[in-house]
A and B are shown apart, each in its own frame.
Chain A
Amino acid sequence: MSFGYRGRAMRTAAVAAMLAVVSAPVMADEIFYVSGAVGNAVENFKTLVKPWEEATGHTVTMVPMPASTTDQFAQYRLWLAAGSADIDVYQTDVIWAPQLADSFVDLSEVAKDLAPTHFPSIIESQTVGGKLVALPIFTDAPALYYRTDLLEKYGVAVPKTWAELTTAAQTIQDGEKATNPDFWGFVWQGNSYEGLTCNALEWVKSHGGGQIVESDGTVSINNPNTIAALEQAKAWVGTISPGGVLAYQEEEARGVWQTGNAAFMRNWPYAYGLGNGDDSAVKGLFTVTTLPVGKEGDPSAATLGGWNVAVSKYSTKQEAAISLAMYLAGPEAQKQRAIAESNLPTIVSLYDDADIAAAQPIIPQWKDVFLNAVPRPSAPTLGKYAEVSSKFFNAVHATLSGNGSAADNLAALEADLNDLKGDAW
């Protein structure tokens, strides 16, 4: 599809129409699109949907929401529960699909050609009981950031396992602490919130401890591998990681990292661009790799993040809304997002796209990270996911803060989760 000449013509027409204050054609709908908004998201979104608006004659108004996904979730739930028709298209987190499935339109029929071009694992995560609840628009997966200069200075190899990471971080920290008392080996997200579920799931999965609740619904969390993984993480707190890591979310970790006070960091792709900003103390001194594993040869695990679009079944303008969702999940929009905002595409072929590679060299690099992505157990736990995750990160946080041993806390967690599960999720 090309919008070259026609697009320009239509834009001129649109301007003329605006100047003349002529009302829009009858068939043109105004679609309300709600999304957590960061940075220039609203402006970027306007540019992004412009071709679609010009092609269809509809308009889109974006409703920005707090960046906190829990805040968004509670809000959307209330709106949808009340059957609100004010919002037509929702931007949804990868874990929401099973919980909100009833309120969204099934997209499997309209997207039957588009869906197979995406990574199958993501499409699967958005499919609930055969219903395609949402279409992916970009994905997200964390990686291990490390300081190339410091690794070189101390002659340390890029760590492959968590044990190697621990020793490497300790070595660098011991050396650096002499001149910089605020220096730490490894920073990550240990606050009790959804982010800790992501962090802990990576430790557990890469130690062969399963993924909390398996896809058949069994609660698998209480096993020796998980216990080992958590005990190892607990040992980091106060040694290679500051005690305060138990209150860190992404920004706190980045704060320590970007002021040059950490050797390693676990974080999402956003920290890459910011870390290379002009005022960053680590500009050009770092790179990323896949997260470490339990023992050599195991596959690495990175928690799958990312965003999707879903159409409300209470929308009165469904046709236009579905068309918008299809456009946003399609190759042009994803490519534009990748170039403009370095969002990771979900369409496989875009990782080989030359324009993207030229504009955002980090994106092809992230493909390895992304191929190891593990989903959080939102699919098997259906509507209960938020509660499962909350119980999990609370148990992990308790263990990390020294309230009870990993074994005890996990045994209690297992009982709690089985209780929550009842006969079936």
Chain B
Amino acid sequence: MTSPTLGRANDLGLSLQQQRQRAAFWFLAPMVVALFCVAAWPLLRTIWFSLTDTSMDNLYGGKFIGFDNYLRVQTLSNGTVRYRGTLVDPAWWNAVWNTIRFSVVSVTLETIIGLGIALVLNAEFKGRGLVRAAILIPWAIPTIVSAKMWAWMLNDQYGILNDIMMNLGLIDTKIAWTASNDTAMIAVLIVDVWKTAPFMALLCLAGLQMVPRDIYEAARIDGVHPVKVFWKITLPLIRPALMVAVIFRMLDALRIFDLVYVLTPNSAATKTMSVISRENLFEFNNFAYGSAQSTLLFAILAIFVSLYIWLGKVNLSGEGR
């Protein structure tokens, strides 16, 4: 904001700038208060719980125990030393690995499919509006509902997916999608991609529509191959939009909870960080331990986002333009 006009506005007097800043304060205050109450305070509570031995039976009676929930060293009576805590818990690391695997695969697939759909929708054709609305249906369906719908369709005996694949001759025995460890993750991925690829497509489409039409026109006249146009012109131009879309999707994917919880609640092959934290928080008698896991989940997300912004040079705040 270095435009000379604003400089002139500032010359009108300090009082105007002060007035604007005071107004800004009052405009921001309600939002900050709201976010503090619903986000900061509960998160601080969780971090605090993670440093205590609080249990669900006695929420207010926890004692401070430092980082024992994360890592502690025990020396047994026979002299052996062992480590305990989330950071050495194989179940936790399994969940971390599951989450990362899921996020990378699903976001990659969603980006590719979403971009593909967006390219199709960016072309002019009859009924484009209807198709555009149709692809938004999966995204509008509540997750809990779509998870149930897919659980129904993925059922091995009377699910329609096996039926279709049998009829097409793709498989010869019915696949137990959600049961076997090999396919449980695939099942979750199918549903997630189905549900979120349209949203990705929409974001890509928004980016595509900002690309001026005459660039394509010029490329067509010059006889540049469409594939080359995509790689050399389209992709670089929509890259910023794509990067932001990917980061928002990635955040959602890393936190994924309800889909896994409804579809394959107990499968070790799909248990994600959110699912395992919830299990420890509310189901098992490990409230503080679960709090530690939620805190770690938050920390992992924060580190990931910082890395992404830094490495991808994503200008999220838009400052300094």
**What residues make up the interface of A, taking CB atoms closer than 8 Å to B?**
70, 73-75, 77-78, 80-82, 99, 102-103, 182, 190-193, 242-248, 252, 255-256, 259, 261, 383-384, 386-387, 390, 393-394, 397-398, 401, 403
Contact = CB atoms under 8 A, between A and B. Distances in A.
A77 B176 contact: no
A78 B176 contact: no
B180 A386 contact: no
A74 B275 CA distance: 13
Contact of B267 (A73, A99, A192): A192
B176 A246 contact: yes
B285 A383 contact: yes
B279 interface: yes
B179 A387 contact: no
Given A102-B58, A243-B176, 14 more contacts: A70-B265, A73-B283, A77-B56, A81-B59, A242-B156, A242-B174, A242-B176, A243-B156, A252-B155, A383-B55, A390-B284, A397-B266, A398-B268, A401-B179
Interface string B283-312: 111110000000000000000000000000
B176 A244 contact: yes
Task: For the complex of A and B, list the 6 residue pairs with the smallest distance between their C-beta atoms, beginning with the closest.
Answer: A247-B179, A244-B156, A244-B176, A74-B282, A246-B179, A383-B285
Question: How would you classify the secondary structure of chain B's contact residues: helix, strand, loop or mixed?
Answer: loop
19 contacts: A73-B283, A81-B57, A102-B57, A191-B179, A191-B266, A192-B268, A193-B266, A242-B157, A242-B176, A243-B156, A247-B178, A252-B155, A255-B158, A384-B285, A386-B284, A387-B284, A390-B266, A390-B284, A401-B179
Nearest to A247: B179
Interface in B253-282: 265-268, 278-279, 282
B181 interface: yes
B102 interface: no
- B interface, how many residues as a size bin? 20 to 34
A84 B267 CA distance: 33
A387 to B, nearest CB: 4
Interface string B27-58: 00000000000000000000000000001111
A53 B267 CA distance: 45
Nearest to B286: A387
B199 interface: no
A33 to B, nearest CB: 22
Contacts of A261: 157
Contact of A387 (B56, B175, B267, B285): B285
Nearest to A387: B284
Interface in B156-214: 156-158, 173-181
Contacts of A242: 156-157, 174, 176
A393 B156 CA distance: 21
A98 to B, nearest CB: 10
Interface in B203-246: none
Contact of A78 (B175, B268, B282): B282
B285 A99 contact: yes
B157 to A, nearest CB: 5
A256 B287 CA distance: 39
Contacts of B285: 99, 383-384, 386-387
Given A383-B57, A383-B285, A390 B157 contact: no
A74 B261 CA distance: 13
A244 B174 contact: yes
A424 to B, nearest CB: 14
A397 B179 CA distance: 10
Contacts of B282: 73-75, 77-78
Contacts of B267: 192
A394 B285 CA distance: 18
Given A192-B266, A243-B173, A70 B283 contact: yes
B263 to A, nearest CB: 10
A314 to B, nearest CB: 12
A48 B67 CA distance: 52
Nearest to A420: B284
A74 B287 CA distance: 11
Contacts of A403: 181
Contact of B176 (A193, A247, A383): A247
Contacts of B176: 242-247
B83 to A, nearest CB: 12
Contacts of A387: 284-286
A377 to B, nearest CB: 15
B181 A401 contact: yes
Contacts of B56: 77-78, 80-81
Contact of B283 (A103, A252, A259, A386): A386
Contact of B177 (A70, A192, A247): A247
A316 B59 CA distance: 20
Given A81-B59, A256-B157, A261-B157, A243 B283 contact: no
A403 B58 CA distance: 39
A74 B278 contact: yes
B179 A190 contact: yes
A82 B157 contact: no
A157 B144 CA distance: 45
B181 A182 contact: no
B179 A182 contact: no
Contact of B266 (A73, A245, A394, A401): A394
A401 B173 CA distance: 17
Contact of B180 (A78, A243, A248, A393): A243
Nearest to B59: A81
Nearest to B267: A192
Contacts of A78: 56, 282
A273 B247 CA distance: 52
Nearest to A184: B157
B163 to A, nearest CB: 11
A382 B266 CA distance: 22
Contacts of B177: 247
A242 B155 CA distance: 12
A242 B162 CA distance: 14
B150 to A, nearest CB: 13
B88 to A, nearest CB: 12
